[in-house]
């Protein structure tokens, strides 16, 4: 299998590239205007041309692109091919902007470390971002060796993440890796999402059997002096498929994620549609409400909180557009 095959090249991408002048490649990593790109003829460095018209899409890790010769023997991005999925969160540095993390992931793996109790609000937020991307979602419970009854955690995670595959792993003991690697079957791309310290890099290293990602000690209350690289790198597996790690994330704020919200709380969303007797029913116990009392109260509260957050974002965006 060639590296580009492991990265999931198929007829779809080949045909899209054929309508362009350049040749096909997949962005493995982006650093400051330069991309590392895997092609049929190995890995190359490509400049994303800053001279190009505004509004052009900036490539991110996972993008399929076409490449053409540029000035002085350089290679430049000709076109970012239309994305099938895109993981986006609210830019933590600037609240009113989206930040794209990974393009064309087939599965978003939301990783939770079982060295602490499952935080429902956090897990659900990551699932909202995962579903919004257009990819499938898996919840990966890591560090299961630290729990007496990880099956109970798995059941809890499944209830918090309807529609998601739940995979329990103990990477340091090599447990659960077969089910983890099954997420890559069919040369799929898995994007791991989760806050620092949950065990993402350890999972990747266990799967590849070598230290491909630097891991770190969890130092509670010591954010300084911790040098984490935030490079998001697409790593091909020799058996096919690829994984992207997303280091340096504390939390994900959803961005324009109404579909992700509906998918992450599908049981609430389903009833929401029945609750059309009042356009603005907020399911707070109004008589005749189809939702309140029929779903888990905690999930309903968190769903409504997120809906309010998204509605505020919509208003904010509309206000900016008018200005």
Ligand X SMILES: Nc1nc2c(ncn2[C@@H]2O[C@H](COP(=O)(O)OP(=O)(O)O)[C@@H](O)[C@H]2O)c(=O)[nH]1
- List residues binding Zn ion (CB under 5 A): 275, 281, 283, 289, 291
Contact range with ligand X by CB under 6 A, out of 89-97, 98-106, 140-148, 151-159: 140-148
Contact range with ligand X by CB under 6 A, out of 121-129, 138-146, 229-237, 301-309: 138-146
Nearest to 179 by CA among 164, 194, 166: 166
- Cα–Cα distances in angstroms (integers) from residue 308 to residues 44, 161, 312, 313, 315, in the given order: 45, 20, 6, 9, 11
Output 53 or 297, the one with its CB closest to Zn ion: 297
Residue choice 27, 142, 161, 291 for contact with ligand X (CB under 6 A): 142
Shortest Å distance, C-beta 172 to ligand X:
4
- List the strands of the sheet with 107-113, edge to edge: 165-168, 136-142, 107-113, 189-193, 242-244, 234-236
Sign, CA torsion 55/134/123/316: positive
275 binds, among ligand X, Mg ion, Zn ion, none (CB under 5 to 8 A by kind): Zn ion
Determine whether 230 is exposed, middle or buried from the number of CB atoms within 10 Å of its CB (0-12, 13-18, 19+).
exposed
Give me the residue whose beta carbon is nearest to Mg ion: 201
Our finding on whether 145 is near ligand X (CB under 6 A) is yes
Measured distance CA(49)–CA(26) in Å, rounded: 17
Our finding on whether 146 is near ligand X (CB under 6 A) is yes
Shortest Å distance, C-beta 170 to ligand X:
4
Shortest Å distance, C-beta 248 to Mg ion:
8
Q: Which residues bind Mg ion (CB under 5 A)?
A: 200-201, 247
222 binds, among ligand X, Zn ion, Mg ion, none (CB under 5 to 8 A by kind): none
Shortest Å distance, C-beta 306 to Zn ion:
16
Name residues contacting ligand X, limited to 71-130 (CB under 6 A): none
Shortest Å distance, C-beta 115 to Mg ion:
15
Output 114 or 300, the one with its CB closest to Zn ion: 300
Output 36 or 245, the one with its CB closest to ligand X: 245
289 binds, among Zn ion, Mg ion, ligand X, none (CB under 5 to 8 A by kind): Zn ion
Name residues contacting ligand X, limited to 160-219 (CB under 6 A): 170-172, 194, 196-202, 215-218
In the complex, which residues of this chain contact ligand X (CB under 6 A)? 142-143, 145-146, 170-172, 194, 196-202, 215-218
């Amino acid at each position: 299998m060639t590296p580009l095959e492991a990265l999931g090249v198929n007829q779809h991408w080949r045909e899209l590239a054929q309508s362009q002048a350049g040749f096909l490649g997949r962005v493995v990593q982006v650093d400051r205007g330069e991309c590392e790109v895997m092609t049929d003829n190995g890995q190359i460095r490509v400049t994303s041309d800053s001279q190009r018209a505004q509004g052009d899409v900036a490539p991110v890790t996972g993008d399929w692109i076409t490449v053409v010769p540029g000035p002085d023997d350089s290679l430049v991005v000709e076109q970012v091919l239309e994305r099938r999925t895109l993981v986006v969160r609210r830019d933590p540095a600037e609240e009113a902007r989206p930040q794209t993390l990974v393009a064309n992931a087939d599965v978003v793996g939301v990783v939770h470390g079982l060295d602490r109790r499952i935080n429902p609000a956090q897990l659900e937020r990551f699932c909202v971002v995962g579903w919004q991307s257009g990819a499938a979602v898996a919840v990966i419970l890591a560090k299961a060796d630290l729990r007496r009854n990880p099956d109970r955690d798995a059941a809890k995670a499944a209830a918090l993440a309807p529609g998601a595959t739940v995979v329990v792993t103990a990477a340091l003991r090599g447990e659960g890796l077969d089910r983890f690697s099954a997420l890559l079957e069919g040369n799929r791309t898995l994007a791991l999402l989760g806050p620092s310290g949950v065990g993402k890099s350890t999972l990747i290293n266990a799967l590849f059997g070598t230290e491909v990602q630097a891991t770190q000690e969890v130092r509670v209350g010591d954010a300084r002096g911790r040098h984490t690289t935030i490079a998001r790198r697409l790593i091909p597996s020799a058996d096919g498929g690829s994984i992207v790690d997303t280091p340096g994330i504390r939390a994900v704020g959803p961005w324009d994620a109404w579909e992700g919200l509906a998918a992450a709380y599908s049981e609430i969303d389903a009833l929401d549609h029945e609750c059309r007797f009042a356009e603005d029913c907020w399911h707070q116990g109004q008589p005749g409400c189809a939702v309140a009392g029929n779903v888990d109260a905690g999930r309903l509260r968190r769903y409504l909180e997120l809906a309010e957050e998204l509605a505020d974002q919509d208003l904010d965006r509309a206000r900016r557009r008018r200005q």
